[in-house]
Structure 1
Amino acid sequence: MNNGEQHRSGHVVVGVDTHKYVHVAAVMDAIGGILATLTIPTDTGGFQQLADWAHSFGRVLAFGVEGTGSYGATLASFLRRAGHKVVEAGRPDRRLRRMNGKSDTLDAENAARAVLAGFATATPKSADGEAEMIRRLKVAHDQAVEQRTAAMVTMKAMLVHAPDPLRQETAGKTQIALARHLAALRPRRLEAPEDALRHALRTLAKRWQYLDTEAKELTQMIADLVDRAAPQLLEPFGIGVDTAAEILVVVGDNPERIKSEAALAKLAGIAPVPTGSGMTSGRHRINHGGHRQLNAAIYRTVIVRMRFHQPTIDYVARRTAEGKTKREIIRCLKRYVIREVYHLIRPANHTVTAPS
């Protein structure tokens, strides 16, 4: 046995820096440090090569994979199905990058060190069920809604320069009625700016109608999936399909990875961050991290409850009388909602009641 082998534990972790076409891996022994690196293609053959290569160094404790929600998603899924523990390695520390430089190999080594040191512990989403299906449909839905809005804004901006008769015909119409009216225009030959305007308005109106139909179809598909995956999320007051879909996308198909209500609150950017130091101990600030779309969805739920949910209205009145500001009350209510959501996505836990 050579001197290098005498200082190996036989237990290794593997860090992977992921990219679109190739992944770079580094294997690290628990006491022997970095042992070797490997570059693989991003296909099933490359993933199997990585797994076999890692096993050749000993028992693999875990794979630390960067970007498990993007370029590393397929690799993470392959390793999970093969029975390996997969951890989200996260981005390398910027201070280390400034001091040591950056390369794919260094990033892979840093991912392995983060796993071995216990800094990287997050379990990635499994992305193999209804939650992943909802996420993919929401990508298409949100883009359709965004482009539909852009088309309507452009139509209304162009109508400012339209002839008086056309402006009078379209004044006060709803978006659907406006699109229907403009789509029915019969443009003449292109002989004047007004003819070009009619062509443009007709094209934009037809585009809006197509995107509107597409968005509605995707909304229905998302609603069906939400009702199939977690109908209990639709029962609380103020939580609609959009909010429930956002919750499922963030939680993923393996909600057991979220160990506590506080962890979900942190994931949603709702848990306060301590900022005390010296004589200012006990102070906190808003957490500006977390999933901003979920944070916004929870905020909308709180606003709906503050307007129409009597127990919440009573709670707001009581806390206002105690001297709390509206902003502080909303923060408290967001924590109530996220706590309620946590127990809904983990049915084995006890239920909680809304503020009263």
Structure 2
Amino acid sequence: MDQIIIGVDTHKSKHIAVAISRQGARLGTMTLPTTRQGYRDLEVWASELGTSKAFGIEGTGAYGAGLSRDLLAKGYTVLDVMRPNRQLRYLHGKSDSLDAESAARSVLNGQATALAKTQAGASEMIRHLKIARDSAVKARSQAIITLKTLIINAPAELREMLELIKGPIKLIRHIAALRPGKIVSPTASAKAAMRAIARRWLLLHEEIHAHDQELEPMVREKAPGLMNTYGVGVMTAAEMLIVVGDNPERIKSEAALAKLCGVCPIPASSGKTNRMRLNRGGNRQANAALYIVAITRMRDHEVTQNYVLKRTAQGKSKREITRCLKRYIIREIYRELCAPNDAKCAP
């Protein structure tokens, strides 16, 4: 049978698939529900049209995650496809079937080359736990900001009493144990509000600690070499494992990983002007993690400090040196997470 390419436009409750031949002819369209039976129906439908060479799916990390995971588990090649650009939509219109066909043609003409993550191993489990942890950290920060505001605006007697307590944890535990009694005065209402927020902070603090206890052994088992890299902590290693995923063979080189993390310069030349600009794209969480490693090394890593002195003497600013350091750090991370010869995960 002839080889075909399937493009899929993904949505919350349904997907639209379009099949094209190797010559670009449109062979058929199918609408499927986002269920396991729907995924099986897509596989049967595609097999009736020909041999599936590849599936181009929009949003393999969002609405297309379930379908992508199912197809990868069955051995199919799945490519992550970007949505059509606005110019094409302006020229040809917008519909789900047109988007699916555009996804298929992106695979056919070689524009879509990014292999989808398998999302079925330790890196995916780490991602789930880190999402929960990051959410708890954000909520805890908001809680302490609100609590401090309430203390500042509290009645004078209550505020002066709380200011005598030294240490943030001791203060929060004291507030959590307040007994406001019946709400008949501003002091009682302030105590009730502060107690609620303090108890929320303590619960979030315990949740974050529990996530840390779960994440550390998982990260150390997945990437022991990376954990031994200077300046790389558990959360930094976790972020890099999430970026690389459970199938690091999809990242062909350290330059590809650098681009994925937004630490490579972007050409911005035109005519007689030859220049590079900053990469504002990529995974910004990973970029922030690399920044933390760079700052840590600049503070107390002798080799890095010597490099900083050398580049400073060459006229580089601190920001420029930090960008260079992040690119060097990516090289180390690539060597730890992906073997350069066979592109397999580090043990």
Shorter-chain TM band: over 0.9
**1:297 Cα offset (Å):** 0.5
Deviates more, 1:235-244 or 1:320-329: 320-329
**1:154 Cα offset (Å):** 0.7
Q: Secondary structure at the match of 2:280?
A: coil
Q: Secondary structure at the match of 1:279?
A: coil
**1:260 Cα offset (Å):** 0.1
**1:213 Cα offset (Å):** 0.3
Structure 1 partner of 2:247: 254
- Aligned CA distance change for structure 1 residues 173 and 97 (closer, same or farther; 3 Å): farther
**1:348 Cα offset (Å):** 5.1
Q: Distance in 1 between matches of 2:87 and 2:24?
A: 24
Contact map agreement 1:343 1:349 (CA 8 A) in 2: no
Q: Distance in 2 between matches of 1:181 and 1:164?
A: 17
**1:32 Cα offset (Å):** 4.9
Q: Secondary structure at the match of 2:4?
A: strand
Q: Secondary structure at the match of 1:278?
A: coil
Q: Distance in 2 between matches of 1:152 and 1:146?
A: 10
What is the one-letter code of the residue matched to 1:239? V
**1:349 Cα offset (Å):** 4.8
Q: Distance in 2 between matches of 1:253 and 1:10?
A: 31
Q: Is 2:214 the counterpart of 1:221?
A: yes
Contact map agreement 1:18 1:67 (CA 8 A) in 2: yes
| 1:176 paired residue among 169, 175, 182 | 169
Q: Distance in 2 between matches of 1:123 and 1:289?
A: 19
- Aligned CA distance change for structure 1 residues 117 and 92 (closer, same or farther; 3 Å): same
After the TM superposition, which segments of 4 or more aligned residues of structure 1 sit over 2 Å from their partners? 163-166, 168-175, 347-350
Alignment of 1:312-351 (within 5 A): 312-347=304-339, 349=341
Cα RMSD, aligned residues only: 1.4
What percent identity do the matched residue pairs reach? Answer: 50
Q: Secondary structure at the match of 1:35?
A: strand
What is the one-letter code of the residue matched to 2:59? G
**1:219 Cα offset (Å):** 1.4
Q: TM-score, normalised by structure 2?
A: 0.95
Structure 1 partner of 2:104: 112
Structure 1 partner of 2:179: 186
Q: Is 2:244 the counterpart of 1:278?
A: no
Contact map agreement 2:78 2:115 (CA 8 A) in 1: yes
Q: Distance in 2 between matches of 1:312 and 1:91?
A: 41
Once the two structures are superposed, what CA deviation does each residue of 1:135-181 show, in whole Å capped at 9, x if it has no partner?
00011101111111111111110111212332223326333222101
Structure 1 partner of 2:130: 138
Q: Is 2:40 the counterpart of 1:43?
A: no
Q: Distance in 1 between matches of 2:90 and 2:319?
A: 39
Structure 2 partner of 1:78: 70
Q: Distance in 2 between matches of 1:174 and 1:247?
A: 34
Once the two structures are superposed, what CA deviation does each residue of 1:73-126 show, in whole Å capped at 9, x if it has no partner?
111111112221111112112211122221111110110110111101100111
Deviates more, 1:9-18 or 1:243-252: 9-18
Q: Distance in 2 between matches of 1:11 and 1:320?
A: 57
What is the one-letter code of the residue matched to 1:276? S
Once the two structures are superposed, what CA deviation does each residue of 1:28-60 show, in whole Å capped at 9, x if it has no partner?
111151111000011111101101101111111
Q: Distance in 2 between matches of 1:335 and 1:256?
A: 20
Q: Secondary structure at the match of 1:293?
A: helix
Q: Distance in 1 between matches of 2:24 and 2:308?
A: 59
What is the one-letter code of the residue matched to 1:94? R
| 1:210 paired residue among 175, 200, 203 | 203
Q: Distance in 2 between matches of 1:272 and 1:345?
A: 23
Q: Is 2:269 the counterpart of 1:302?
A: no
| 2:143 paired residue among 140, 151, 160 | 151
Contact map agreement 1:26 1:36 (CA 8 A) in 2: yes
Q: Is 2:159 the counterpart of 1:164?
A: no
Q: Secondary structure at the match of 1:28?
A: strand
Q: Secondary structure at the match of 1:313?
A: helix
Structure 2 partner of 1:3: none
Q: Distance in 1 between matches of 2:106 and 2:26?
A: 13
Q: Is 2:22 the counterpart of 1:58?
A: no
Q: TM-score, normalised by structure 1?
A: 0.93
Once the two structures are superposed, what CA deviation does each residue of 1:163-207 show, in whole Å capped at 9, x if it has no partner?
233222332633322210100111121111221111111111101
Q: Secondary structure at the match of 2:272?
A: helix
Gaps (5+ residues) in structure 2? 343-347
Q: Secondary structure at the match of 2:5?
A: strand
